[in-house]
Structure 1
Amino acid sequence: MRERARLVISALSAALIACLGLVLPADAATLPSPVSCSGCWKPALNTSWQWQLSSVPSAPYLDVAMYDIDGFNATAADVANLHSSKSGRKVVCYISAGTYEDWRSDAGDFPSSVLGNNLDDWPGERWLDIRQYGGTLGTILTKRMDMCKTKGFDAIEFDNVDGYTNSPGFPLTATDQLAFNTWLANEAHKRGLSAGLKNDTDQLKALQPYFDWALNEECWTNDECTTAQTGYGYDKYVAAGKAVFNVEYTLSTSKFCTKANAQNFNSLKKNLDLDAYRVPCRGV
């Protein structure tokens, strides 16, 4: 009887999904439910910002609504100064979730079993076996999230969350990446922190319910910004009320700003080392 009831419920769920026109990935049923965070910051669709990782910003600060800065290098005082210098400004904590960085203060905590291949062009950085987030790796990453919370950040930018599309040295699958990325977003929400999805363009659809906003590098260069280009693009995030932040490194602003503004993206031209240089597509 219980099995019969389960089958009926499954059939009804499938019918409802079909009626709503949703197409879920084959592994979506294995994903956890999104952790709600009513108090988390949800950036407005039009949000001016600066992304500066090579150094900690210092006064005088730009008149922007959001700064995205390195979570390790910034102190609690740095975050407080950014908050106090402009009413309502939010500060995002950048951490790498998918790679080991040999210069970080917690580098010695990583067991050798989670360390994979070196990243091309990024000395001292290695891919992680994200399948092990249920053990020591998860403890390390939650400590990083706690660091962001303690320093007063409002949100987290999780970097390198698309290892399965690279050569990490482990047989990572799309399912592994989805499990890891949803875990990251849920853990951020448990701490009252907004979660930003960095790249991972192939999984935008499945991850949209979990993340509060998205940050992309070079989607105009790679023709992967919009649904018309990829089948499910960042325009869908905007339609869902979730802000999209985009950076281009090599294109001139004349090649992408008009298109970005039309899509209501918050796009910048930046240097690859993410220093203070920026050219916004919008006025600020």
Structure 2
Amino acid sequence: MPARRPTVRSTAVAAVAVLLALTGCTSSSDSAGPAASSGSPGSSGSGGRSRVTLPPVHAGFDYQLGGAYTPPKGVRIISRDRTSAPADGLYNICYVNAFQAQPEERKQWPADLLLRDADGDVVLDKDWNEPLLDIGTPARRERVAARVNRWIDGCADKGYDAVEPDNYDSYTRSGGRLSAADAKAFITLLSAHAHSRGLAIGQKNTVELADSRRKTGLDFAVVEECGAYEECDGYVDAFGRQVVVIEYTAKGLAKGCAEWGDRLSIVRRDVDVTPRGDDGYVRGTCRG
């Protein structure tokens, strides 16, 4: 499966919906050095607890969704697509497209799990030509989660430390057919399963739901362009220093580094996250 390119987000921030009354929370660490461990909820209905390892704070970070390559010197945290192997000796985050179907995988999804409009047409994220998955009822959430959880199992089996489920904000592209409550209910299912496999789970973007991170079981944040859009403080308020940031412009990197470079892990990548050595490859850090 070709790696999905990162989501370019709007600056609109929706009002936070009513929080789900679900139990379990995780703690974030402000300590530098090796990744801290956090008590996290076990699998749904098990009543047990497992421990997951959180990313090191303010550590070198690289975003390799477009293809794996040898990590640059100084990198301690890396994110790769679920089809790639983790990097030896680093903290590895596994990318899964959890709330939308990638175009080449559309036919692999049951037709009734693709969100439909009033005319019966599939609702698309038009920027990426990706169908939204229908997580609008408990039964459908369970069915979608069962498929995504198999990918999470694959991440765990490969030796990843964490997972980042993308498109948490897809409800904002649903034309009102999905809600923030639907998104939070679904991510809570994924969090429970990730924790049951010993994986930490990151919130991807969606600053408007960051305040819900404890009730949804999210451990850290993977954020695109919070420097450019001046949203980093919203994530820091929720996750402390447990935030890793990707910027796609020189201006965004400069702003992010000026305000947060002494506290957060920040990297600039090209929007296609191409592998090093390919045309278009861009990478920058707060250190130059």
Please state which band the TM-score falls in when normalised by the shorter chain.
0.7 to 0.9
Residues 42, 213 of structure 1: 8 Å contact kept = yes
Bigger relative contact order, structure 1 or 2, given CA contacts below 8 A and separation 6+?
A: 2
Q: What do residues 39-91 of structure 1 show as CA deviations (whole Å, max 9, x unaligned)?
A: 3111122221110111122x47544111100102x1xxx32xx21xxx4x121
Cα deviation for residue 108 of structure 1 reads 4.0
Q: Give runs of aligned pairs for residues 82-231 of structure 1, distance below 5 A.
A: 82-83=87-88, 87=89, 89-104=90-105, 107-116=106-115, 117-123=123-129, 125-132=130-137, 133-166=140-173, 168=174, 171-208=177-214, 210-226=217-233
Q: Which residue of 2 aligns with 1:20?
A: none
Unaligned runs of at least 5 residues, structure 1 = 1-24, 227-232
User: What is the alpha-carbon root mean square deviation over aligned residues?
Assistant: 2.3
Unaligned runs of at least 5 residues, structure 2 = 1-15, 26-40, 43-48, 116-122, 276-281
Query: How has the CA–CA distance of structure 1 residues 182 and 136 changed in structure 2, closer, same or farther, with 3 Å as cutoff?
Result: closer
Residue in structure 2 matching 1:40, options 34, 52, 58:
52
Q: Which residue of 1 aligns with 2:80?
A: 69
Is 1:49–2:56 an aligned residue pair? no
Tell me the distance in 2 between the aligned counterparts of 1:109 and 1:161.
21
Question: Which secondary structure does the structure 2 equivalent of 1:143 belong to?
Answer: helix
Q: Which residue of 2 aligns with 1:258?
A: 258
For 1:31, give the aligned amino acid: L
Identity %: 29
Which runs of at least 4 in structure 1 moved beyond 4 Å after TM superposition?
Answer: none
Tell me the distance in 1 between the aligned counterparts of 2:136 and 2:152.
18
Residues 249, 269 of structure 1: 8 Å contact kept = yes
Q: What do residues 200-258 of structure 1 show as CA deviations (whole Å, max 9, x unaligned)?
A: 110101114522210111122222221xxxxxx1222453xx51111121342333311
Tell me the distance in 2 between the aligned counterparts of 1:266 and 1:208.
21
Residues 226, 256 of structure 2: 8 Å contact kept = no
Residues 236, 242 of structure 2: 8 Å contact kept = no
TM-score (norm 1): 0.74
Moved more, 189-198 or 178-187: 178-187
Number of aligned residue pairs: 235
Residues 68, 94 of structure 1: 8 Å contact kept = yes
Residues 41, 154 of structure 1: 8 Å contact kept = yes
Cα deviation for residue 174 of structure 1 reads 1.5
User: Bigger radius of gyration, 1 or 2?
Assistant: 1
Cα deviation for residue 192 of structure 1 reads 0.6
Residues 100, 128 of structure 1: 8 Å contact kept = yes
For 1:275, give the aligned amino acid: T
Tell me the distance in 1 between the aligned counterparts of 2:135 and 2:271.
26
TM-score (norm 2): 0.74
Question: Which secondary structure does the structure 2 equivalent of 1:129 belong to?
Answer: coil
Cα deviation for residue 186 of structure 1 reads 1.5
